[in-house]
Structure 1
Amino acid sequence: MATRPETAKKILLRWMYGSMALMGVFYSWFVVAAAMDGRASPPVMLAVLVSLGGVLVFYCLILRDAYDDRPLPAVKLAVSALLTAAAVGLQTLSSPVDGGTWESVAYIWLASATLYLPLWSIVGLGTALTAGLAVYASTTTDLSWQGSLMTYLLSALLWPAATWIWCWLWRTIRDAHDGQAAKARLAVSEERLRFARDLHDLLGHSLSVITLKSELSAKLATKDAGRAASEMSEVRRLAAESLVEVRVAVDGYRSLDLDAELAGVRAALEAAGARCTIEARADELPPPARTLLAWAVREGATNVLKHSRATRCSITIDGGVLEMRNDGVHAPAAGTGSGLRGLAERMAIAGGSFSATPTPAGEFVLRAEVRA
């Protein structure tokens, strides 16, 4: 399954491809119309169409490179600049299109260059291009230089801004996803470190004492059997106490707090773009039942994030009954995952019940019941 940044990238790229295709059709229509009216010869028309297609294709390629953070595409920028000059130059010589619309093709190249060239160079290129086109339009058409200047100035601002926003939007989505992934990895690392510290604190002293007493017992075995037996009894006692402490620590890690889990699930789902509503009435439940429901909430939220494109999720806890309902299920589940199977087994051992099934309305309902 594609990640959310990959999906966002595909949407943005297809949006870009579609926009360029529509623009190509728009400009091509003017070129063909000019040729049909006798204002351009077929060879000129063909050359203009080829140049136009090249400008739009290289714009897409350069913008796609910007999405992937590749090195400066100097060759593509240079070829695109030559094609842009050819398209605008052929229009200037043959005048296949009247008015100032066609010259705005030059700003497509300026927009692609905005992603790589320094700001001062873009400002200089934009100023020179705008001034030159405004002077040309005012001398070859009925438009005043003020009107031409405003038209081209608007293109000089909108095209680079739109292109920059395209890339900025993608990079923002990608960085947000990377940030969430980094936070998750950091949380796991911190938990491992905490568990390692706890094990060291629990077992470090006990194991050191056990080692010393074992060595002492080995030395006393041939000299003082009674004292050696006493020391070994102490070793057994320390080992049993250490085992109990480890079990308590592990059980503590296995237990979950229901309120904290609900808050964490809400934050995770809303960060993923799903509106989460929670109604919980579980204050009277005993701690084991609350822990079981907390595990069900965690597994249910994991299922929502991994296997659906949910936009809303509701969590209801009434006594010992939990129900999680989410949308975004577009196909029947291929089978119950290992997480849900494990949760069902845990519920059954505790005397509860568990079910997780999709509905014909495109929702997925997880229901768990524990002894109150």
Structure 2
Amino acid sequence: MAKRRFGLDNREAWWGEPIPDPEHKGPGSWRWPIIAVGFLLPFLVPVARSLLAGPEVTVEAVLTGVVVGTYSLCYLGFPFVSGRNRRVKLAFGIGMNVLGVLALASTSASGFVLLYGTAVVVFLVPPAWSVIIDLSALAIGAVILLVQGRFLADYGDLITVGSITLAMFFMGNLVRAVRRLERANEEIATLAVANERERLARDLHDLLGHSLTTITVKAGLARRVLESAGDIPRAVEEIREVESLTRSALSDVRATVSANREVSLSAELVGARAALRAAEIDADLPHAVDNVRPEFQPTFGYVLREAVTNVLRHSGAKRVRVRLGDTWLEVEDDGTATDVVAGNGLRGLTERLAAIGGTVRTSVRPGGGLLVRAEVALPAPSPATPAVRAEPAGGLA
């Protein structure tokens, strides 16, 4: 899984689309226009006073008024653009900074007039574009002040605009990083829920499939005993085992739901022996699991449980053989199967083995029946470092 970064240390963070705020109220919110008007008044009042102070209305004054008015409206309405696609926001940011530069050139306003455009760009476009656009606007503004002879008087305003814009730049990217982190946390929570559902479904499938199959076999055996021989003591014994199995299954279900259930390979061997005997299937099973590595025994217990359940359900086998090794397990039957059908059980076993670096393979035997082999490959041992004999400081005697 690729490492996810939330700062400005990768290309995606610089050029990627800003993540929208899911709690953003959008353009219908009445708060922003009121706040924006308060920010615009220090700029609009002096400009309007200078335009209205002239003895007559000129074309230049009208054009200046249009530029200033459009620039102010863009600042008031930029939340309407925040939900649009990247091209629209990029065009809006560039156009607003162009209007800011024109307003600086056509009025006697100070360099502060550029702040409205540079601040908006920081929150609308990716960081790389905001740096390009804002630096360009500040550079053009400096040139305009030089041409108009106001640079020495107003260069401090440009520095202030650059400082405020830089602070907003980092604040905006901090907001983006927080939103990415929130999205990542939401994804992690969703994946955790999905993984827990998969675990619960897999465990219940493995548990109830085997338990219910064994209960069905033993109940059928008790019925046949009563119908054929009328051997009531034996039938009662089988019913008692069914009762014990149902209680054990109920306990296992509760432990599975609470994620506290552990599978024992030795216990699964005992259960497999009883289930196969009840189904009148000859079972060739090992009597101990000491030769299996302890860390693999729970997973191999699941493999044995699923393989025996499939034998009882589908195989029609008369004989089952189980073999164990330190890192492998084989279950072989002489049933009538001629192909391998990948169901939920096999997929669940594949996931369990993959979690410990192992594999499970199911193949058809030449004479019919299936061979299930689960194996875990151990890492190759590192080459031993040759021992170096220490000699006395004075050399060999």
TM-score (norm. length: structure 1): 0.49
Larger Rg: 1 or 2? 2
TM-score by length of 2: 0.46
More helix by share: 1
